Structure 1
């Protein structure tokens, strides 16, 4: 079933990995996104690394905050090293926003705060990908 899908987005060649320990959260995010973008749900970062072979690298990783609680914000750098150019969004409860902020300081690109809504999740992913009218995100480096 496709809910409010724009054709241009449905044929987009980019992909999202949803990496969360919580099976319900993974399934909900996959359901919300799969009509507009290729979406894969994975239980661990290691599953993502295995799936992310050369031809299947993600453009966005939606990472459950529980992994940051267990492994620390170093995981953000590890994901970036494994998937160069990937955008990372932290999926978090309001009570864990402090950890999400620390992850953003470590290089994550934003957060998706529960409760999850179809419109909110799609808008956040569209924004992070620079599509749907949102200005493209450009990584700037400092020039000396």
Structure 2
């Protein structure tokens, strides 16, 4: 099923790896992104790195639960093995105050749960260098 798919983006073939030990979150992200991107879901880092040797991704969505308190080392390891791939951390809203610390580790951005289709696609498109619509809220008094 395709929801709001831009055909120009669908033929670009950008590769995204979702690396998350939370199966529900990983499958949800794959569903949200599969229409416009080549999306692969992995439950373990080693499986993703094996696949990346043949098919390097442009973007990695890394589950915060998989990090287990070693975000800095894990992100550095991904950077060393995946070259120029961008990294977005996927975490719960409760973990979001640690954004500055996560950015210091080298993450390019953050996706917070609960995941929303429009927000996920907008942040992913921005990391992939695609044009994204700018939403400015209008307040009427």
Normalization by structure 1: what TM-score?
A: 0.86
How far is 1:133 from its partner?
4.2
Count of aligned pairs between the two proteins: 133
Residue by residue, what CA displacement relative to the aligned partner does 1:22-60 show, whole Å, maximum 9, x if unpaired? 000000000000000000000011111011123x10100
Aligned to 2:78, the other structure's residue is in SS state helix
Whole-Å separation in 1 of the counterparts to 2:131 and 2:40: 21
Q: In the alignment, is residue 69 of structure 1 matched against residue 73 of structure 2?
A: no
Query: Counterpart of 2:84?
Result: 85
Whole-Å separation in 2 of the counterparts to 1:100 and 1:62: 15
How far is 1:100 from its partner?
4.5
Q: Any unmatched runs of 5+ in structure 1?
A: 135-144
Q: Kindly indicate whether the alpha-carbon contact (under 8 Å) linking 1:87 and 1:109 is maintained by their aligned counterparts in 2.
A: yes
Q: Kindly indicate whether the alpha-carbon contact (under 8 Å) linking 1:65 and 1:99 is maintained by their aligned counterparts in 2.
A: no
How far is 1:72 from its partner?
3.3
Query: Counterpart of 1:102?
Result: 101
Q: Kindly indicate whether the alpha-carbon contact (under 8 Å) linking 1:90 and 1:100 is maintained by their aligned counterparts in 2.
A: no
Query: Counterpart of 1:6?
Result: 6
Normalization by structure 2: what TM-score?
A: 0.88
How far is 1:61 from its partner?
0.3
5 Å-filtered alignment, 1:1-144, equals 1-54=1-54, 56-133=55-132
Q: Kindly indicate whether the alpha-carbon contact (under 8 Å) linking 1:19 and 1:48 is maintained by their aligned counterparts in 2.
A: yes
Whole-Å separation in 2 of the counterparts to 1:27 and 1:21: 11
Let me know the Cα RMSD of the aligned residues.
1.4
Runs of 4 or more off by more than 3 Å in structure 1? Answer: 98-101
Aligned to 2:84, the other structure's residue is in SS state coil
